[in-house]
Amino acid sequence: MSCEALRIANFKNSSAIHAHFLRSPRFFLGPVQAHRAYNNQTKPETERKRGIVNLETLKELYVNELRDLYNAENQLVKALPKMAKGASSDELKEAFEKHLEQTKGHVQRLEEVFEELGEKTKGKTCQAMKGLIEEGSEVLKADGEDSVIDAGIIVAAQKVEHYEIAGYGSVRTFAQLLGQDKSAELLQQTLDEESEANELLNKLAEDIVNPEALMEPEMASASSDR
């Protein structure tokens, strides 16, 4: 199809959509209300009630994110011992053991945050953490050179830390905005520990991965010729 024909076809398509849209009563609603009206029309009663979160207020978003983090931290309490066990470097093992203890503290802090809010302590499956842990377990199962596998474990762990840093940065700010001062402080403490864990992993990656030793033989000799 020539460009001109494509342009006309696109125009026809979009004008047909526009005409349909203009006839629809949803035209008179803003995009958010239209989306809700659409949902209410098409979703069966049960689906509206089950599994769909209400996000009308910042507080609702705050609680929703806290539940995600609460579940994510609990998943990590189970996963970190496996990562410690799978690591070959003693320093890396130690780092995971230390972060496991910190992570148990993160769970407790979230419980205090729910309490300050007067909300029931409840998690909601964090699909992202499930996926990140799943990727990490692929590395743990891999065959290969110990230090390369350690480097892979570090990558997986840093992805986890970055996810948590994003989550805690947001809920800390929400707590501040909502005047939950005690919670804002607790969430900041956890955020700092996640950042420190990430920094430590950066440092360990440099110590553990000795590029010269891990290069293909030809590449190593080429780089030592330089």
Applying CB under 5 A, which residues contact Zn ion?
A: 164, 194
Shortest CB 176 distance to Fe ion, Å:
19
Find the binding residues for Fe ion in span 54-113 (CB under 5 A). 68, 103, 106
Nearest to 151 by CA among 197, 99, 201, 193: 201
Does residue 128 bind Fe ion (CB under 5 A)? yes
Give the position of tokens 């209300």: 33
Nearest-angstrom CA–CA distance, 204 and 158: 11
Q: Minimum distance between the CB of residue 168 and Fe ion, rounded to whole angstroms?
A: 8
- Tell me the H-state helices in the chain: 3-23, 31-42, 45-49, 58-86, 90-117, 127-141, 146-177, 181-208, 211-214, 217-225
Nearest CB to Zn ion, comparing residues 68 and 194:
194
Of these partners, Zn ion, Fe ion, none, which one is at the site of residue 150 (CB under 5 to 8 Å by kind)? none
- Pick the closer one to Fe ion by CB: 150 or 164: 164
Q: How far apart are CA 202 and CA 225, in angstroms?
A: 28
Beta carbon nearer to Fe ion, 59 or 130: 130
- Shortest distance in whole angstroms from residue 9 CB to Zn ion: 52
Residue that is written with structure tokens 């029931």 in the block:
120
Total number of residues that touch Fe ion (CB under 5 A): 6
Contact 79, 98 (CB under 8 A): no
- Nearest approach in angstroms of CB 25 to Fe ion is 36
Binding residues for Fe ion, rule: CB under 5 A, are 68, 103, 106, 126, 128, 164
